[in-house]
Amino acid sequence: MISRPILATAMFAAATAVLAQTAPRPWPGISRTDLQRHDLSIPGREMIQVRVDFQPGAAAPAHRHPGEEIVNMLAGSLEYRLEGRPAVTLRAGDVLFIPSGAVHSVRNVGDDSASELATYLVAKGRPLIVSDDRPPKP
């Protein structure tokens, strides 16, 4: 029979491993505030909504998501580079659709902090952010 302290430790380790797989890795100068997460009516899919704040000069290197991302700019100026597209600079009120699996990077190109509302429609239980060693191709 497994003692309760050992069982509790094993359960904690398993939960930590699951969170480590789904929690985005922090990038310097970028903070994320989780706002909501809900299952979708499409089996195996979920919606995650996050506020992302970028300090001046902060950048998220090339990465992708296991589903679509919809960006709504709240403040500041961000430059997005999506594979196969020219770079685009977003300002407050602008929106951007990022297709599932599209390699992209983002950088605060303004002198002030920038903020966006990111809504993800993604595969449930998969890592939200997958780093990509390749820079987005123009």
pLDDT in tens, 78-126: 999 999 999 999 999 999 999 999 999 999 999 999 999 999 999 999 9
At residue 72, does pLDDT exceed 50? Answer: yes
Q: What is the mean pLDDT of residues 42-64?
A: 96
Least confident of 41-45, 67-71, 123-127, 133-137: 133-137
Give the HSE-up count for residue 90: Cα atoms under 13 Å, Cβ half-sphere: 24
At residue 24, does pLDDT exceed 50? Answer: yes
Asked whether the beta carbons of 55 and 110 are under 8 A apart, the reply is no
pTM for the whole structure: 0.77
- Which residues make Cβ contacts (< 8 Å) with residue 72, sequence separation at least 6? 94, 95, 116, 117, 118, 119
Alpha-carbon gap, residue 112 to 67, rounded angstroms: 30
CATH number for domain 26-131, candidates 2.60.120.10, 3.30.70.20, 1.20.1440.60, 3.40.50.720: 2.60.120.10
